[in-house]
């Protein structure tokens, strides 16, 4: 099966190029000041322009208001809006009408009961991104290096368009894809040498492992 690979939280030309040269499908730019991967709008715009035509561009936000989203979309022209806050299905419908971009909605998982949180988004978002619930006290909705129990989604309807995230690494992505049959994977901290510092070698290793699992 084919698999879509996204590297999130890219913030330098070197690591952006490393991801695209490794063959990733989607590069992710984070707009969330509390994150070590945050890039300001003008920086995001420069990175997006460098990536355009080489891979799809995702813009990650957390409960961004209309003014901030308008500024970011104007700067980045993303292919994908990746929403990691408390955005409602109605909010997603509004943003799809307004911007016409693909929308991925993050749903954090810890227990089987959490799967119910995805239900309202199967019909409104283009993809549901399953991530681990953040550790207690964390201010980051993602990028915490925490995995959830993949067994929670092994029985998911194979027609569901989802993205597997949460603590993936070059060492675990093969097992994760095999177990869940994920059509897409998203990694951030799992290819870093320090918080917010992407490692080109880990990026390449992750891509190789994910492609191997999907072949």
Q: How far is CA 169 from CA 7, 125, 172, in A?
A: 11, 26, 5
Tell me the pairing of strands 26-31 and 56-61: parallel
Q: Which two tokens stand for residue 31?
A: 């707009």
CB distance 171 to 177 below 8 Å = no
Q: Which two tokens stand for residue 205?
A: 């290793």
CA 158 vs. chain centroid, Å, equals: 20
Q: Give the span between the Cα atoms of 197 and 76, in whole angstroms.
A: 21
DSSP character for 133? P
- Segment holding 99, helix H or strand E: helix 89-99
Strand (E) positions, the chain?
A: 4-7, 26-31, 56-61, 80-83, 102-109, 127-132, 162-164, 184-187, 192-194, 197-198
Catalytic positions: 8, 131
């Amino acid at each position: 099966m084919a698999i879509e690979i996204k590297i999130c939280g890219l913030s330098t030309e070197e690591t952006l190029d490393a991801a695209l040269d490794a063959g990733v499908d989607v590069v992710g730019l984070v707009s969330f000041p509390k994150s070590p991967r945050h890039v300001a709008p003008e920086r995001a715009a420069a990175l997006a322009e460098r990536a355009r035509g080489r891979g799809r561009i995702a813009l990650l936000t957390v409960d961004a208001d209309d003014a901030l989203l308008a500024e970011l979309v104007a700067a980045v022209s993303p292919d994908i809006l990746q929403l990691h806050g408390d955005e409602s299905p109605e909010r997603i419908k509004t943003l799809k009408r307004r911007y016409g971009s693909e929308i991925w909605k993050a749903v954090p998982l810890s227990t089987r009961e959490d799967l119910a949180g995805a239900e309202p988004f199967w019909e409104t978002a283009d993809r549901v991104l399953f991530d681990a619930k953040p550790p207690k006290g964390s201010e980051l909705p993602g990028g915490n290096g925490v995995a959830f129990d993949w067994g929670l989604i092994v029985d998911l309807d194979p027609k569901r368009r989802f993205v597997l995230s949460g603590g993936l690494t070059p060492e675990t992505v093969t097992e994760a894809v095999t177990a869940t049959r994920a059509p897409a994977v998203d990694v951030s901290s799992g290819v870093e040498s320090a918080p917010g510092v992407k490692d080109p070698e880990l990026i390449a290793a992750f891509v190789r492992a994910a492609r191997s699992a999907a072949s």
